Structure formats: structure tokens, C-alpha cells
Amino acid sequence: MKYNKLLFSLLLLAVFCFSCKEEQKLQTSLDFDKVLLNAKSNPIAIESESPLFSWIIKAEGFGKSQSAYHILVASSLDKLDETHADVWNSNKVESSKSTFVKYEGKELKAATRYYWKVKVWDKSNQESNWSEPQYFQMGLLDESNWGEAKWITLTNDTRTSEYRFREYKTGRMEQPIQVDGFAASYFRNKINLNKEVDNAQVYICGLGYYEFFLNGEKVGDHVLDPAPSNYDKQAYYVNYDITEQLNSGENALGIILGNGFYGQNISWKNDPESDRDLAYGPPTVRVLLKLKYKDGTESEFFSDETWKESTGPIVFNNIYGGDTYDARFELGDWTSTNYDDSSWGFAKETAPEIKNISAQQIPAIKKLQDYEPQNVFKGSDGEWIVDFGQNIAGWVKLNVSEKEGQLIEVITTEALLTNGRDIFPGSTGGGANGMAQIYQYICKGDGQESWEPKFSYHGFRYAKIKGVSTKPDADMIKAVLVATDIQETGSFECSDDLFNKMHNISKWTIVDNVHGIPEDCPHREKCGWLGDAHAFCEYALYNYDMYDFYKKYMEDIRTQMLPTKGHNNPELKFQVPTMIAPGKRTSSYAKIDWGVATMYLPWYNYLYYGDDAIVNEYYPEMKDLTNFYLNFKGENGIMQDGMGDWCPPRWDRRTNPEAMECDPIISANAYFYDVLGIMETFAKMNNDGAFQSEMKAEKEALKDAFNKAFLVEIPNTDFKWYQSQTATVQALQFGMVPEEEIENVVNGLEYDIVEVKGGHHSTGIHGNRYIYTVLSKYGKADLAYRILTTPDFPSQTYIMNSGFTTWPERQFEWETMEGPTNSLNHPMHSGFSAYFFESLGGIKSSTKEAGYKQFIVNPEFPSQITQTKVSVPTPYGDIKNDWSFEEGKLSMTLEIPFNTEANLVLNQAELESLIINGKTFQNLQKNTKSVTLQGSNVILGSGKYKILYNKR
């Protein structure tokens, strides 16, 4: 008996000790979820002199935050410890900063790999383990690092295929002309390795799209590399690690080079007599291969005049028109070592005009997904039409068996005729850029032949295929989604299937329009219009990792800037962007409502990520542009400039311009007021006190002038507004409405929507971005729902019911037309969907603690929505909010990442009913430091909370 009691006591003691250890483990557990440098995992082409370190911590419990960090950087793994770290030892730094921590070690050397790790302490001084070792590799930091690498281009265009020519015809031309463009170039060379390779890096800069091959295999999974840019000022190279792909002895290197946006000597000419040439010159490429051997020696191999050249089966390529591939001119296994290239010529060295070459930091364009035919039928001319069920950007791939010389032609379009009997060219017929979307394949006739393009992409849902002897099926033809591989990091779903479908369409419309730049559409123009870019930016940031994407696009905007005279004072000179960036197909100087993208994109990037580098980098340009727009100030204090609220319902600038009810001056000045506040913040961040004060004064003056000029009474009512739905929405969104007038203005907006417009919006891209958020904020969430879901024109539901899978550029009554004109894939109309996250999900970053260091939680939703679930990506981890509403009670599950805090917005009545994790707020506040009160708002530290309160 005594033995059993002793055993029982020991057992209890063991359980108690185990429990203590588990409790201690729970309290001290700090686990690294992600460890990043410049927001990337183990990057290999870093060019920052001071890279930025970030880490995401998973920690159990509540109110957990960081109090200190320690970073080590070393030249090798065996030196990566506190004693031997030879590049940087930060020692213990007392700081809560866990994102974008600036490197402060020794000067980093080009093309060199470094290793690093970090550990942290929480506010209780509990210490984490070291993170797993990470690495980063520096790129080619300046021109000298390219060594002897030369630019090479095609010497002789030897194309003889009769299919090298295409028809070119803009809407202004009576007859088409024949064009062939620059030839696709094929380059090859060999290297002989007689030592064992430890590391091999290849650096390629293509002016024009390229693909790189090694020993018969394509290197990497990129397509359409590199991203477009203002090539004469800024071009991008891509770095590949090919250590594992090299063989001992002989190795064969090959490159195919196409025109891309660089060799654009065809499209966007106004007529055949025009001397307008959008080409920078014939495509050219530069290659550097850096080898490090296991014996410690190094060598380089590079492009020069010793490379062999040829033309081949790609006999035509144009970014708008498409590729033509004549398989009868295939070159055989031309990237293998034993290939006989004695008939090939030698490449020509060239010296293109180019100011700067940098590593491409944004994700590459890739083939993301294949789509099979959903329906196949014969058109009115007897040719087969394939419906892939989704409007995408990309190309088709073929698998055919036809006779030698058989031409197979694929015409891609976004739409059918309204009667459904044939394809409708609409946006894809080439009237604007002169080139219809056509792919051509000429068979070699030796059995099954497979092909897909390399140097063009199209926007399409339908494909008419000519020249095949059997009915197309999934074995013969597929559609391939091709776009920049931005990673989807956020999510939204709610209890209403219509909203879920709108969210899906909004995402599709963005994914289809990112090809190294934020495009307006993936077919007719493929241009980076600045107004479109800022219209959908915030929604994109909620859904995707866009950290590097907008930094790159800001460089496009900067390198697009041109010297421009002041408006009121022509003696003044400013650097001003054009309406489009990048490229030679520009427009006029950027009007205010388009040009503010220059300020909005850094602001949104800072607000959503918390990295001030983009603000500091572009502050001089933003300041200069702000002064340029201030030079448009009239005697009434209003800037006399603006482009307009693009594409409201039924609007056509030629046939129905009055449908744009918002005066462009009004909407532009509303944007500019908001931007003046942003520039006030940016000036403060850059210690520019004088400009900060100036911006504050200009903002206050513009608010007064705006209200004096544009706030009017609505006849026969007690309400006021700013003469259009868009201007009224903007004034409410940007805080321009005098406090005593807010109720009257909100009621005025409701009056116009309900009584005048019959429950419909009349907004274009400027107003549509904010109208649903504004209505929700001011107690009209049910009206926002009504506008979105009414099946009658105009509404998002009307568009969905019309069969569109992406948002069209124009808002027309499609059933009354022969076919849907203009683009059917325009991401500027996805901007409104930020409403799903910021209003329904209730999650917004604080402007005072940017990057979601502190964030706002305030779901505002219509009575028709009973449940919403969002996940919002942040540099600290994902914020998750899952709420349901029933019988007046809001039940919320909220996950707050480590090292952040949430500001739960409540009124006094809601606060009094608040229960968190099963306890009243008063009880919880007494027993924990992770919950505090700020007015009627509740500040919550990190952790997972169950929240319940009566929603008023």
C-alpha cells in the first residue's frame, strides 16, 4: 500500500513538472514562420546597398510583441555565429521593429553570397532560438560587373517563309499594308569546362523577350522575360543559378530573342505615311556566365561576336499581332553540343542606348494554368469556334496532325456576336494598334505536331480555328493563362454568392492584366495608364503580394517623366509623367486625376507594408509634381485640370460625353485634396518642415475653395451634394465635407441614387472605387447592397448576368448591341472590391502605424450579409476575421499577428455589451494587459479572440 502511495505521489509530481514545463514552453514559444530579406526568401539578385530584414513570428498567448532582435550576417555558413560573423553582428538591439530592418554591416560585394540568421526577445524578455540559416546573393551592382559581356543582335535577316508577313491596318487606313517586323533571332555558343564547378550564375538582359537554353533544355520556367520598361533609361536582367544543369566538358548555350515591347516597329502607327516608330531598335541581348570552381578559382563566359546566329521557324512575332511559326524551317536540336552550326553566321555586336540595368525584382511572367474547351461549335462561315469559358490573358497551344505546308490559323476574341453565331472582334480586331490577334502555325507534316507561342500574349475567351480537318477538342487545343506570377495572399468570402462571384471576377480582371506592369487591358492596348493603376491598387494589395511590383512601376513612372512648362507660369519647369508608363506609346502630360498615381502608389505601398523606402526614394519627384499641379490654381483656388471620371454608365466621349455627370475639374480637385494630405505626411517623414506646412495650408485652402465652388443644394429638397455621385462620394471619403453638412450630403447622395437614378450608380472609376465603402460608413450599407445586386442596368450583377467573367471597360446595355464593344477586361473596374475587405471584412491599416502594425477592425455591412470571412496579408502575418451576425449580435473570431495590435471600433452601447473570450470587457481589462480602452474603442494585442457584442 505504501509503495502504491509513493508511486502515485511520484506520478503526480511528474505530471505537475511536465505541466509546468509545458506551461513554460507555451509562455516562451517564439517560432519563426517566415524569415525574409527585401520581402523575399533566399533571393539571388539583390542590388540594395542596405538590404532590409524581416521576420514573422508565431507565438501562443495574448498581447505578445517583440522587445529586441539580434541579426548575424556572414560570408559562409561556418562563420554564422556570434563569435565569427564577419559581415555584420548587430548585437542585441532593443527595438520592436520586425519588418524592413536596415542592414548596417560591411560593404556588400557584387555577385557574392551571404548567410544570415536572427533571433528575437519578446516584451517579457523571453528569448527565441536562432532562425534557420538563410542566404542572399548580391547581383551585378554596376556596369563594371558585366565585365566583357557585349550586346549582340542579329546580323542577317534570312527569313524566306511566305508567312513572314502580316496585314497591318488601323482604323484610319483605307487598305492594309504588309509588314514583317524584326526577325526572331537564334543565338548559340559552347563552353568547355575542365574543372569541377562549385557555383554557376548566368545573368541575362534582353531588350525584347528572350528564352535561354542549356544543353537542349530551357532554363527556368519564366516566359516573356524580362518585364517591359523605358528601355533607354532602365532595363532589367534576370539571374539564374545553373550550377546543377552544367555538365563537365562541353556545354551548349542557346537564346531565342523576340521583339517584345522593345522591337515595336509596327503597332500604333497612325497610318502608313507616319514616321512614328515605337521601336527602340532591333532586339538585342547581353549574357554573362560567372563560374566559381571547387579549387577556388573563377572564370567568366559572355556574349560577343563569337556567338553564332540564325533565323528559324518563328517567322513573325509581334506583341499585339501574335506569333507565326513555320515548322518547315525548324533548326533541329540546335541547343545541343553536337549540333552542326557551320551554316550559321556570326552575331553582330551593338551598343544600344541604355542608361541603367538592374536586376528584375518582381515575380516573373509564367504559364499559370491550362484551360480546356467548354464548348465547340461552327461559326456562320463554317469554321470551328472554341469557348474556353473564361476570359484570360495568354495564348493557345496546339497539338495537330496535318499535311506539310497546312496553315492553321487561330483568331482569338473576347466575345461572340450578341446572337451567338460567330466571334465578335470588338477589342481584338486591331483597329487601334493595327494588328488583329492571330496565331499561325504552318505544319511540317510528319505526324503529331505540338506548338505554343513564345513572344506574344492575347486577351481572349474564344478562339476560331481554321485549317484543321477534325473537330477541335481538348487534345487539339487548350488556352494557357500567362501572367506575372503574383502570389495570392489574401482571401474573402461571405454569405452572399453574388458578392463572392464579384470578388472572383475582380481577381480575374487583375491577374489577366499584370505582365510586368499594371495594364489597362491585355489585348488592344496593353498599356500602363496611371489612372487605371491607382484605381485598383488597394484591392490588389488586399489580395496579392505586390511589394516589389509597385516599386518597379514607380520606376517606370519616373523614367517616363518629361520636362514640362508650368501652366500659370511657363517660366517654371517640372518633371511630369505622361498618362501612360512605360514605353514610347505615350499620351499627353498626366492630368491630375491620372498623375496622382505618382503619389498614391507609394502611399498605398507604405500604408499596406510599412516600408518607407519607396516614399523616401520618390519624394523629390512627388514634391515636384505636386508643385506642378499647384501651378494650375485658378483665381477661385481650384486647380484647372482634370481627365474625368472614366467610363460611367452609357458614356462615350464621342457619341455620349454628357453621360459623365461629374465635371473632370471637380473629381480631379477632390483627388488632389487627398494627395495634399499625403504629401504633408511624406514631407514630415522626410524632415521637410517647410513643405509640410505649405501642404497643410494648401489643403485647408482647397477644402474651403472646393466647398464654396461645388457644394450646392438639391432643388426641392433639404439636401446638398457636389453635383454628381462621384464628387459627393469623393468629398465624403476624403473628409472634405464640413462637419455640420455631413448628414445633408449623405442624404443628398442617397436621394440621387434612389429618387433620381432609381437605385443605381452613375459613377465611373473614380466614384465607383469608394461609393460602397462610403455608403456603408455613413449608415447606408443596405443601399450599397441594393446598387450592387440589382439585376437591372447598370450594376455589377447586370454585368455578371450578361455572361462576363471579367469586368468590361464600358458600362453599356449589351443586349442592344451587335456585340460588346471596347475592352471586356479592364482592372480599373476591380477597385470597388476593396469594399469587401475594408467594409465587410472591416480590416484597414492604421495611417499612424502603417503596414498593419496597428490596424482597424470595424465591420460595416448590409442586413443581407450574415457572415464574412477575410484573411488580410501583412508583413507580420495574416490578419483573420471571421464574423457572423444573428439577432442583433455580432460574433467575431479575430486573429491578430504577433507584434501588432488591433483597434476594435465600437460605440458606447456596443462597448457595454462586449464579451471577449467569454468574459466581459470589464473583467478582462482587470486581468490582462493585452486589452486596453481608447475612448470607446478597444485595443487588443496579438492572439486569437472570440468577440461578441450587440451591433448598433
| Binding site as annotated, residues for alpha-L-rhamnose | 520, 524-525, 532, 594, 826
3-class state of residue 265 by DSSP = coil
3-class state of residue 834 by DSSP = helix
Neighbouring C-beta atoms of residue 792, cutoff 10 Å? 12
Neighbouring C-beta atoms of residue 741, cutoff 10 Å? 15
- Nearest partner of 282 among 312, 262, 267, judged by Cα: 262
In this structure, what C-alpha cell is assigned to residue 498? 453574388
- Nearest partner of 393 among 523, 269, 275, 202, judged by Cα: 523
Cα–Cα distance, 370 to 372 (Å, whole number): 7
CB 335 within 8 A of CB 344: no
Cα–Cα distance, 668 to 727 (Å, whole number): 9
Neighbouring C-beta atoms of residue 927, cutoff 10 Å? 9
**Helix, strand, coil shares, percent, the chain, to 5:** 25, 30, 45
Annotated binding site: 520, 524-525, 532, 594, 826
Cα–Cα distance, 872 to 488 (Å, whole number): 11
CB 359 within 8 A of CB 240: no
Strand partners, 376: 386
Establish whether 143 is a catalytic residue: no
In this structure, what C-alpha cell is assigned to residue 905? 471600433
DSSP string covering 841-908 = S-EEE-SSSTTTTEEEE-----TT--EEEEEE--TT--EEEEEEEETTEEEEEEEE-TT-EEEE---H
Which residue matches cell numbers 511559326?
A: 325
- Nearest partner of 395 among 289, 306, 317, judged by Cα: 317
In this structure, what C-alpha cell is assigned to residue 87? 559581415
Which residue matches cell numbers 496585314?
A: 167
Which residue matches cell numbers 548596417?
A: 104
Amino acid code (one letter) for 727: A
For the CA atoms of 469, 474, 476, 478, the dihedral, rounded to the nearest 10 degrees, stands at 130
Neighbouring C-beta atoms of residue 395, cutoff 10 Å? 28
Residue 838 DSSP class? I
Amino acid code (one letter) for 151: W
Cα–Cα distance, 369 to 375 (Å, whole number): 18
In this structure, what C-alpha cell is assigned to residue 464? 476560331
Catalytic residue among 452, 525, 555, 694: 525
CB 372 within 8 A of CB 225: no
- Nearest partner of 766 among 599, 645, 673, 670, judged by Cα: 645
Which residue matches cell numbers 528564352?
A: 211
Catalytic residue among 211, 309, 452, 809: 809
Q: How many CA atoms lie within 13 A of 920 on its CB side?
A: 5
Establish whether 849 is a catalytic residue: no
Cα 449 versus chain centre, distance? 36
Alpha carbon distances (Å) from 833 to 488, 499, 501, 634, 803: 15, 9, 11, 35, 19
DSSP string covering 288-301 = EEEEEETTS-EEEE
CB 162 within 8 A of CB 136: no
Amino acid code (one letter) for 218: K
| Residues classed as catalytic | 525, 809
